[in-house]
Structures are given as C-alpha cells and as structure tokens.
A and B are shown apart, each in its own frame.
Chain A
Amino acid sequence: MSEAEPAAGIGATVSDLEILRAFEPVVRYTHGERFFPMDVEPYVEASSLWIYNPDELDEEVIPEGSLTADELVVPRDAAFGSLFYLRFVGPLGLNASARALGDVRKLAKEHDTSFHAGVGRLARGGLLPRLGDSLFSLSLIFRGNVPGATAAAAVLKYAAMQAQDERYVYHGRVVRQGGWTICQYWFFFAYNDWRSGFYGVNDHESDWEMISVYLYDDEDRLRPEWAAYASHDFHGADLRRRWDDRLDLELVGDHPVVHAGAGSHASYFKRGEYQAEVPIPLPPRVKGLAGSWSSFWRNTLGQGGAEVSTPRIPFIDFARGDGLTVGPGQEKEWTPNLVSEGTPWVSRYRGMWGLFARDPISGENAPGGPMYNRDGSPRPSWFDPLGFAELDQVPPPTRELEVLESQITQLEARNAELERLIPEAVAELQETGSRLSGMTGSAHLGAQHERGTQRLAEQVAHVNGLRVERADNEALLEGLTRRVERARSGRANQPHAHIRNPMEPVPVSQMRFNRAAELWAAMSISLLLVGIAALVIWAPTNVWAALILFVIAFVLGESVLRGTFVRTVNRIAVVLALVATIVLAAQFWKVAVIALLLGFAAFLVLQRIREIRA
C-alpha cells in the first residue's frame, strides 16, 4: 500500500487493450541502437524456416518469401534431438558479406547511428579478467557463433522493413492471477547486436524482452502497484519496483520509463552504464584452489577485502537513454498487438526465433518465443508472471489488511491455547520430577527410574518447545501489529525493503580512467604475448626466470596505472614470502624442527618457573 495518493488507474471494466494502453511504457534507447521492437509477423515473412538434425546437415523447410505466421505453426514431424529455427539472414557469401559491411557503414553515417563507447570496459577490470576476455574472444572461433556480417545484413534488412512500414510494436497480454491484474509488454527485436555493435557478450538473431505492470482492483478501478523489468543477472523481487518509488521508478503520467541496454535490449529502471559480469569458466580444481587462497588471504592472513570469487569478465550494458524514445506522447508511439495463449505463433511454435548457432553455452543461439525457452520448456515469465517477480507471496494492497488481520487472529488464538498448555505441561513435569526424587535410594526401582528419566527429558523438551513457540509468536505478533497500524494509517513499507541486489549503474566516479590506463588496457595482453615471444627468442636459456621477472614487472606497471600499486606490491610480497617459506622449510627443516623444539622447551620451563615462584 502506498504512502502517496494511489495512482488514478483505470476503470476495471475496460477491455484488455485499453488496460495495456493505459500503462504502456516509455522506452528510452541508447544513441546508436539499430533495432527497435517490431511486429513478429513481418519478421517471420522475411525469414526462412530451418530444421537442425543432429546427425545430418541442417535443412531448409520453408524458404524466405514463402513463410507466413500461419505456415510457421503447421505441425511438422521431427526426430528426437532435432529443432526448428528461423533465419532472418540467410547464408552469406564473401561478396555479400563485404557489401553488407560496407552498406551498413554508409547507413550509420547517413542516419548518424554511430556509437561511441567512451570509457573502455577493459580498463574497468584487472589483468586476469582481461586475459579471460581475450580467451572469451578466442573461444568464439571454436564455439558456434553468429557470423560477423550477419549483424550488418540484419541491420540493412530491418532498416528496409522500417522504411517501408515504420512501426514500433509491443505484444501485450493481460493476465489475472492471485488478486492481481498483470499487464505484460513483450518486445520483439529482429536482432541482438550487443557484441558486434556495443562490445558486449553476444550476438543473436531475434530477441525477446519483457516488462510487467501489476495492478490491483480498488473499488472498480485498476491501480498500478508494481513494475517489473526483465534484465540480465537479476531475478525475483530484485526485478520489481513499487509505483511510488520515485528514486528508482521514473513515470511519465501513468507510464513507467524503461532505459533499454544498447544491443542487448535489457530493461533498466535508471539511465546509465551497467556492468554485466560473465564468470570465467574454470575447472573445479582451479576454482577450489582459488577459494582456498581467498580463505587463506582473508582469514589466515586477516587481510579482509571482498570475497575472491571466480574471476569475471566485465561487459558494459549501455542504457544511456540518449537515443530514440518510444511511448505515449514521445517521438514515436507504440502500435499495440494483443496476444494470448490463443495466438497461434505464441503457443504453437516451439522452435527458436532466429539462427541456431550451435553455441554450447547458448549465448549466440536465438531465443525461444515468449511462452517457451530455447529447449521448448515453458518460460516461467509467461506461465507464472507473479512468481517471476516474487509477487506470488505479496497480497494486493486492498487485501493486505485482511490477510494481516487474519494472521493476527490465528496467532492470538494459538497463544491463548499455549497459555493453557504450558502450565499443564509444567505441572506434568513437576509430577515426574517428584516421582523420580522419590525413587532415589531405592535400588529395586532402578529400571523404573531410568524410564522416568527418559520421560522427564521428553517433557522438558516439550515444555521448552511450547515456550519457544509462544515467544516466537509474540515477536511475530508485535511485527504484524506494527504493520497493521502502518497499513491503517496509510504509511507504506520502505519501497526498497524487498530488494536484495539493487540494479545500479556504475557510478561515474568509478569510470574515470585516464587515457594511459585505457590504452594500456587495450594493448596489455598483446604486449604480454609479444614479450613472452621475445623472451623465447632472445633469452632461451633463462626463459622461465625471465618470464617470472617480466610478469611481475608487468603486474606492477599495471597497478601503477590503475592506482593500486600499494595493494598489489603487498600481495606480490606476501606470495613471494610464502614461496620463500616453503623453500626455507625444505632447505632447513631439521634446523626449523630443532628450533621449534628448543623454543617449546624454553617456553615450558619459563611457565613452570613462574608457577613455582608464584
């Protein structure tokens, strides 16, 4: 329940389309964005349908130009392990690829859609994440990935479609669950060019994003209470913000504002640059070693600091909101498209909505539809929109008081019962205790005493359990009563009370890297590799020794640029001191053992002398 005046909302008897239109979002894109939400049907008509067979070559089922949304959902037999997928961009030859890349550069110039990353993401991570990043880039050669010119061809194809019929479309649905009315706005994009366009993690054909607005029924009006935005790495309650949360949720009238990530299209509440981190996949043994080292550093050496988890590659999701804005009263307005389980392409097409790139970690494979995951399993955000944002555990504001009061009544009744049960149990306990003390000294009552002792222990546990329950109930009652008082007086809970991991852009102060640091970040891994090659050529006899010196100098140089020299020099010194300890222990273990024994002996003698003199 909100402290401020509740939002005006909309009459509860209006159509689903009117409800959707009343709360449709205002989406602010980043300058340089090349794909915007579109209608599914022209995309399907511009695509071809393919089938992947595990043991054979992929087969084109319906060529581009012949496919329609109706054709897409026709039931087709397929062997186990096979899957259907669309291709928005067909296979490209060398000439077509070169032409596409050239044309897209011209298009960017004409429409001023070039993107400038600004502060390099690489400068935000250390040497290890950058090494991971290099390996990640290399892994694209071996993993399946969307070919380089595909993004360019997709840009051209989408631009041509927009030139013919410029529309910005959301696919909306209204669901009623658990006392809530949920408006879901699904955004479909022809392509996700986060990697090729914005230095991100992946590229894939087609992209589905979604935001939800949760309404409650208040005297025949539907009023908004929550907005939830789907975004990478965030789940459950972290995805939602309360309608009166003016710190995080920006509104234009009754329309929530979304800042979309460039290329990734992930939805954010605040404008800014978000650091998405991809963990570097390490073998379990290496992870275990890293964990042990972290524990040794933090606990044994008492150095504190953040828990060293798996090294992560930093990627930036640019949600600057300085590009096109789509929404009511904005540069471009929405064209809504009402969908439900009854819409054939929603429920009856279980394939992928773009190229299946055979990427084993799926980053480059196209997504499934709004209702299904890539593997055809149900998508929770469609089937359980309340559980998706952990709202299944939250009653609508108009029911909150009723739910709280019912809980209070139940707890009070139980406590009244406990008030009666506890003295009864204590009386029984005292009887058992008296009986046991009466047996003391009577040898022939040994067996009976043992049984009595066992019963006494059970009764003690029972009485303790009842007392703990009463204490817990009282504490809970206190909290619930306070909450009821707040609810009655119209005061709200803290709007951020449910958030565990806030979704915050990287503060500008943390993005201040000088040119030297950025240049170094861009060049360092290549320099390291060239340096190692030079050592192998010119210092082959002492290559390992030289390599160690080189790496230490490299790390220290890096730390000077990053302003972390003091911390780094200490870490290196401690690591070297630990190695030195092992070397010394191996060399002088006898001396060390003798010294320890002598030291221990001297300590004991001193202790004893002190004891005698005391």
Chain B
Amino acid sequence: MTGDSPGVGTQRGPRPVPVSIFALLTLVYGVSLAVAGVLTLVDAEGARKNLAEGAVELGSAALALTVCFGALRVRRWAWVLFMSWAVFGLTLQLLRAFFFDDPVYWRLAMLTVAVFLLTPPEMQIAFGIRRPPHVRS
C-alpha cells in the first residue's frame, strides 16, 4: 500500500511568497466573513434562517482564520485543512453553477486561486506534505 508520506518534521525553511499571498487571501476572506456574519446576526431579529446563516458565516470565518494562522506558520495541518475545505467549497459552488445557476463567483475564484497556489511541489514540500527529492523516506 502506498500511503501518504509522513510529514518531514518540524524543521522548515522560510515561508514561500505564494504562501504569504494565500495567507493574506484567507485573512481577507475570513475577516469579511466574520463581519458579514456579525451583521447578519445583528439584523436577524430572531429569524431562524438568518441566525443559521450568520452562524455558518462565523464558523467559516473561524475556519479561514485558523487556516490563515496555520499557513503563516507553514503547518502541514493547515494545508490539509484547506484542501479539504476547498473540496467542499468548490463542489458546492460548482453544483450551484451547474444545477442551480446561482454560484458565488468570487468564492469560486478565490478557492481556485488558492488551490493552484498551494498545489505546486515546492509548496507541498514547504508544508511537509511531500519530501524534497533528495530526502529518502
């Protein structure tokens, strides 16, 4: 069985520029969601649908800020958490685009850019997802 390679430990090099850009994107995304969530809750006036929507937005904001924090420290778990989130978010937006015709394009674009930022092998090496070519497992 060829499983996922384990992380390369705690020794990490300097944070690559795309990771900083990614962290900035998630920070902006997280803060905007937090603001939107708070505003939704404030305007909810007890309506159950709005309360739920606000809670989801605040939850997503917390997730984005957590990923941002992990990305700034170039942590493996942040990469894995983001990719899982991206699979969920992209699936949701694409289903909305194909079947319900109401995708949120800016979310789709942000997730797409972020996936491409974090996918190159050097980014995966930086996060400890894969080993550098000269390191034997």
The interface of chain A, by Cβ under 8 A from chain B, is 124, 301-304, 510-513, 542, 544-545, 548-549, 552, 556, 562-567, 569-570, 572-574, 576-577, 579-581, 583-584, 587-588
> Which residue of A is nearest B4, CB measured?
A566
Decide: B3 and A580 in contact? CB cutoff 8 A.
no
Whether a CB of chain A sits under 8 angstroms from the CB of B1 is yes
Decide: B115 and A577 in contact? CB cutoff 8 A.
yes
Given contacts A556-B87, A574-B119, contact A583 B108 (CB under 8 A): yes
Decide: A566 and B105 in contact? CB cutoff 8 A.
no
Decide: B83 and A570 in contact? CB cutoff 8 A.
yes
Decide: B95 and A573 in contact? CB cutoff 8 A.
no
Residues of chain A with a CB closer than 8 A to B124's CB: 570
Partner of B91, one of A512, A570, A576: A576
Interface of B, helix, strand, loop or mixed by DSSP = helix
Q: 14 A-B residue contacts at CB 8 Å?
A: A124-B1, A510-B1, A513-B1, A552-B87, A556-B87, A564-B2, A569-B80, A573-B87, A576-B91, A577-B115, A579-B90, A580-B111, A580-B112, A584-B112
Residues of chain A with a CB closer than 8 A to B84's CB: 569
Residues of chain B with a CB closer than 8 A to A572's CB: 87
Q: Other CB < 8 Å A-B pairs besides A562-B3, A577-B111, 17 of them?
A: A513-B1, A542-B99, A545-B95, A552-B87, A563-B4, A564-B3, A566-B80, A566-B83, A567-B4, A569-B84, A572-B87, A576-B87, A576-B94, A577-B90, A577-B112, A580-B111, A580-B112
Partner of A512, one of B1, B83, B95, B97: B1
Q: Shortest distance in angstroms between B108's beta carbon and chain A's nearest beta carbon?
A: 5
Decide: B4 and A302 in contact? CB cutoff 8 A.
no
Decide: A577 and B86 in contact? CB cutoff 8 A.
yes
Q: Shortest distance in angstroms between A559's beta carbon and chain B's nearest beta carbon?
A: 9
Decide: A549 and B97 in contact? CB cutoff 8 A.
no
Interface centre among B91, B121, B124, B129 (most CB of A within 10 A): B91
Decide: A576 and B105 in contact? CB cutoff 8 A.
no
Interface of A, helix, strand, loop or mixed by DSSP = helix
Decide: B4 and A303 in contact? CB cutoff 8 A.
no
Decide: B108 and A584 in contact? CB cutoff 8 A.
yes
Residues of chain A with a CB closer than 8 A to B86's CB: 573, 576-577
The 6 closest A-B pairs by CB, nearest first: A563-B3, A576-B90, A577-B115, A566-B4, A580-B112, A573-B86
Partner of B95, one of A549, A569, A581: A549
Decide: B1 and A580 in contact? CB cutoff 8 A.
no
Whether a CB of chain A sits under 8 angstroms from the CB of B9 is no
Decide: B1 and A563 in contact? CB cutoff 8 A.
yes
**How many pairs of residues, A versus B, come closer than 8 Å at their CB atoms?**
91
Residues of chain A with a CB closer than 8 A to B13's CB: none
Q: A512 to B2: give the CA distance in the assembly, Å.
A: 11
Residues of chain A with a CB closer than 8 A to B99's CB: 542, 544-545
Q: A584 to B116: give the CA distance in the assembly, Å.
A: 14
Q: Shortest distance in angstroms between B32's beta carbon and chain A's nearest beta carbon?
A: 19
What 1/0 mask marks residues of chain B from 64 to 104 whose CB sits below 8 Å from any chain A CB? 00000000000000001001101100110111011100010
Residues of chain B with a CB closer than 8 A to A579's CB: 90, 94
> Which residue of B is nearest A579, CB measured?
B94
> Which residue of A is nearest B122, CB measured?
A302
Decide: A577 and B83 in contact? CB cutoff 8 A.
no
> Which residue of B is nearest A562, CB measured?
B1
Q: A563 to B105: give the CA distance in the assembly, Å.
A: 33
Residues of chain A with a CB closer than 8 A to B1's CB: 124, 510-513, 562-563
Q: Shortest distance in angstroms between A580's beta carbon and chain B's nearest beta carbon?
A: 4
Whether a CB of chain A sits under 8 angstroms from the CB of B120 is yes
Partner of B90, one of A565, A573, A587: A573
Residues of chain B with a CB closer than 8 A to A304's CB: 121
> Which residue of B is nearest A556, CB measured?
B87
Residues of chain B with a CB closer than 8 A to A512's CB: 1
Residues of chain B with a CB closer than 8 A to A511's CB: 1
Decide: A566 and B129 in contact? CB cutoff 8 A.
yes
Whether a CB of chain A sits under 8 angstroms from the CB of B109 is yes
Q: A579 to B86: give the CA distance in the assembly, Å.
A: 13
Residues of chain B with a CB closer than 8 A to A510's CB: 1-2
Partner of A587, one of B91, B94, B105, B129: B105
Residues of chain A with a CB closer than 8 A to B119's CB: 301, 303, 570, 573-574, 577
Residues of chain A with a CB closer than 8 A to B129's CB: 566, 570
Q: A343 to B2: give the CA distance in the assembly, Å.
A: 51
What 1/0 mask marks residues of chain B from 3 to 32 whose CB sits below 8 Å from any chain A CB? 110000000000000000000000000000
Decide: B95 and A580 in contact? CB cutoff 8 A.
no
Q: Shortest distance in angstroms between B12's beta carbon and chain A's nearest beta carbon?
A: 17
Interface centre among B4, B84, B87, B111 (most CB of A within 10 A): B87
Interface centre among A124, A567, A569 (most CB of B within 10 A): A569
